[in-house]
Structure 1
């Protein structure tokens, strides 16, 4: 039995599975590596990849990290309230996805402390109209961040190809300047930032396992996309700052910290998944995060000598449906899912050489494909320090919070 499996099993032997753990040594190691890769640029922590207040607070207190990239306005308001009166009071929080939540907007307008530290993202004047409709014409000043479309749109023959996430319609520097003027001309709004997530670089590993022919194509695309984006983003920021002084320009993600950092127009980078080390980030050349969050499922059946069945397991990650969205058996090594069944709603069979030795009551340790979504399955993470569980900390779910 491997030392890693012995450590996990021994540390959690007093707990019943299913359970989830965070290896604090690995988490801190990943944080230090992200800060190293950022080379002095502050890292805004993407909360959707964490979804655990204890872990957010821990990393925000480490060198190199400043601010939160939240995914919902109610979440940002909750964090602001939770951190009031602590050393994290006033933490800069960017809600990086547009909100149409009238109740949350009214709560933001009524909360002076939140209005000083929370910014909401927009990508059209329609978002400003919605805020006015929710709050009335004379609402207090709301901090605004413009999101740029930082995908790559090369021309192939007669066609324009869109490579990247479908997010903002603001693509050109001129479009960015027009929207910036719209914000600054409207009472009740203050433009403070610009952001853009280059998913075609940050979210796709450039060394995909078992796909040696695809790797050089990916690198070619990503290198050219990064060069085009640096020019266009710089021009867009320059066009915006002709009208207003910005507090921040945010870019990147865990997978693109180095290339994003080469863009002189960017003042900070975003990262979150690199703290957790899910399987989606196994396929990069430049970095290799340690698996910091794992979950254990108990063996409940032995249908045959070469098959062991665990309880639960159907924790499928978001994104394009495919095998790479399934959870992966991690320990003991040598297990795999059955193609015909995959990960089940209440039971999951595993096969492989290690399955022969599993017994009812044993544990199989797993990794999730994406960083934050596991926290929607568990109400708490058991924190492993050295070789023992030091405490249990609630996830967002464990604190009764579900932000979508």
Structure 2
């Protein structure tokens, strides 16, 4: 069981020689979370979602572990950069309109062999062909929409991603790829974000949590049948299909149980940000934290830290804000919230904080924290054992 007071003492001792703002990754927690993902994947390889890590050194660390294979990237520029860095299996999870990078991809045999691009519309194939800088064959993955439709299609639950919902729609695009010179269909992806990315045990919301569990149960029942049929139809067109990717941190064990799925995607489960606290199926260990320094003491029961206004992407709401984590018991001033240059924090622990002390926060999402910091300090026990650059620290800001 985690001891927040002990963790705070460890992190403070480990970083006593470092000034905040700073970010750390607890390697013991990171490695334990990696082991848990592999356990839940039930023997199927886990493809690491790079957007949830955004640090080459940590991507290398996790891919060196048994049970992990390949990267799921978020932009074409990132995919090519990773391939040039030595990663030889990169799946681009989102369609791209980056003509210059498609020219690079099709002109370089090494890149073309390492990178697989996402397609869900014939127009994307047209754009790639119009952008060609060479004759290299393009590896293609098709994405199936996983959304759950209720009330006869009047209510939609799930992210608005691919327009390809039915097995026949997916198979028709597969046939389009097969007929088109210069492309090879190698994979299918179906990401059930409404299961993998939505916690089903929301603190203080028992009725909402129950409704989420009902929705997710229905979604899993519907998708297991539709995904299997879609994969069967695509394999009729492309018998040598290399992979079928599905799932995410919150659904690893459920998706891994499907015969049609050959690999699982996960990334947030390595850092375990605050949005992943609310699942009945698993419990991770917070591994990525950032610290802001106390710079003011405006009055009794309040301190002010430098910066801290790092909201996560998604629909705006309190759940997208970083969590004042250590010391326990601090909360935002409702008049100000987390600010661009300063953040007041209220609560009894404020009176024990001195100018220069660190307040530790957890980001709402995983890799987005790395867009704010150029270095991750690696902590083991109560020592910093190293420091590695984030994408930002390597001068890479892909989105």
Normalising TM by the smaller chain, what interval? Answer: over 0.9
> What residue number does 1:224 align with?
218
Match of 1:126 among 123, 139, 160: 123
Q: How far does residue 76 in structure 1 lie from its aligned partner after superposition?
A: 1.1
Contact kept, 8 Å, 2:107 with 2:135, in 1: the verdict is: no
Contact kept, 8 Å, 2:294 with 2:305, in 1: the verdict is: yes
> What residue number does 2:346 align with?
351
Contact kept, 8 Å, 2:14 with 2:379, in 1: the verdict is: yes
SS at match of 1:275: helix
Q: How far does residue 12 in structure 1 lie from its aligned partner after superposition?
A: 0.4
Distance 2:129 2:57 in 1: 35
> What residue number does 2:147 align with?
151
> What residue number does 2:8 align with?
5
> What residue number does 2:107 align with?
110
SS at match of 1:201: helix
Find out whether 1:363 has 2:320 as its counterpart.
no
Distance 1:217 1:47 in 2: 31
Distance 2:65 2:248 in 1: 18
Contact kept, 8 Å, 2:143 with 2:190, in 1: the verdict is: yes
Q: How far does residue 365 in structure 1 lie from its aligned partner after superposition?
A: 0.4
> What residue number does 1:50 align with?
53
Summarize the alignment of residues 376-395 of structure 1 with structure 2, pairs less than 5 Å apart.
376-395=371-390
> What residue number does 1:176 align with?
170
Match of 1:211 among 194, 202, 205: 205
Q: How far does residue 155 in structure 1 lie from its aligned partner after superposition?
A: 2.1
Number of matched pairs: 395
Structure 1 unpaired stretches of 5+: 84-88
TM-score, length-scaled by structure 2: 0.97
SS at match of 1:193: strand
Q: CA offsets per residue over residues 352-399 of structure 1, 9 Å max, x none?
A: 121121111111000000000000000000011232111110000000
Distance 1:347 1:304 in 2: 15
> What residue number does 2:229 align with?
235
Distance 1:187 1:154 in 2: 39
Match of 1:32 among 32, 35, 40: 35
CA RMSD of aligned residues (A): 1.1
Find out whether 1:325 has 2:328 as its counterpart.
no
> What residue number does 1:396 align with?
391
Distance 2:28 2:139 in 1: 37
> What residue number does 2:64 align with?
61
Match of 2:303 among 308, 329, 339: 308
Distance 1:82 1:131 in 2: 23
Match of 2:248 among 236, 253, 263: 253
> What residue number does 2:156 align with?
162
SS at match of 1:365: strand
Find out whether 1:294 has 2:289 as its counterpart.
yes
Match of 1:198 among 172, 192, 198: 192
> What residue number does 1:86 align with?
none
Q: How far does residue 95 in structure 1 lie from its aligned partner after superposition?
A: 0.3
Q: CA offsets per residue over residues 196-225 of structure 1, 9 Å max, x none?
A: 110110010010111011111111110110
Distance 2:252 2:8 in 1: 32
Q: How far does residue 139 in structure 1 lie from its aligned partner after superposition?
A: 2.9
Q: CA offsets per residue over residues 68-114 of structure 1, 9 Å max, x none?
A: 0000111111111112xxxxx52x11001001101111111122111
Distance 1:310 1:68 in 2: 36
Q: How far does residue 318 in structure 1 lie from its aligned partner after superposition?
A: 0.3
Structure 2 unpaired stretches of 5+: none
> What residue number does 1:276 align with?
271
Distance 1:108 1:341 in 2: 47
> What residue number does 2:138 align with?
142
Moved more, 247-256 or 380-389: 380-389
> What residue number does 1:82 align with?
85
Q: How far does residue 160 in structure 1 lie from its aligned partner after superposition?
A: 2.1
Distance 2:287 2:250 in 1: 17
Moved more, 255-264 or 189-198: 255-264
Distance 1:375 1:261 in 2: 29
Contact kept, 8 Å, 1:132 with 1:139, in 2: the verdict is: no
Moved more, 258-267 or 174-183: 258-267
Distance 1:251 1:103 in 2: 29
Runs of 4+ in structure 1 deviating by more than 4 angstroms, as ranges, are none
Q: How far does residue 30 in structure 1 lie from its aligned partner after superposition?
A: 0.3
